[in-house]
């Protein structure tokens, strides 16, 4: 495993802002991912941004860091989780 890969895995597993459920990004249910991220963001007392922004940032970070190693089917689930996260926080859907 490369140092870069270890770094991003470490951030995902040991975020200073959010305490994530184990294997949350491996779920095949976008609603479950969104609900877990929302819960983590709302309960964190270490985050620096609003809960929505912290949750969305962590989701985007994971998608970007997984890059080419992320199967297309799972990337679609994670992209759908963005819409579910927006809905969970009552934010308008992006076009």
Residue 81 lies in a domain: yes
pLDDT tens digits for range 74-94: 999 999 999 999 999 999 876
Dist CA 45 CA 52 (whole Å): 14
pLDDT tens digits for range 30-61: 999 999 999 999 998 888 889 999 999 999 99
Q: How many domains does the chain have?
A: 1
Dist CA 6 CA 20 (whole Å): 17
Answer for the pair 83, 30: CB distance below 8 angstroms, yes or no: yes
Residue 2 lies in a domain: no
**Report field, pTM of the whole predicted structure over 0.95:** no
* Res. 1: pLDDT tops 70: no
* Main-chain phi, psi angles of 89, to 5 degrees: -95, 5
Residues, the chain: 95
* Res. 15: pLDDT tops 60: no
* Res. 7: pLDDT tops 70: no
Region 54-74 average pLDDT = 91
Residue 8 lies in a domain: no
For 50, the domain range is: 28-95
């Amino acid at each position: 495993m490369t140092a870069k890969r270890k770094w991003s895995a470490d951030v995902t597993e040991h975020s200073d802002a959010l305490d994530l459920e184990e294997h949350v990004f491996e779920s095949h249910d976008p609603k479950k991912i969104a609900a877990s991220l929302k819960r983590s963001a709302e309960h964190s007392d270490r985050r620096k941004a609003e809960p929505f922004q912290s949750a969305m940032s962590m989701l985007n970070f994971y998608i970007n860091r997984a890059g080419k190693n992320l199967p297309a089917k799972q990337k679609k689930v994670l992209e759908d989780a963005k819409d579910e996260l927006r809905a969970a926080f009552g934010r308008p859907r992006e076009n």
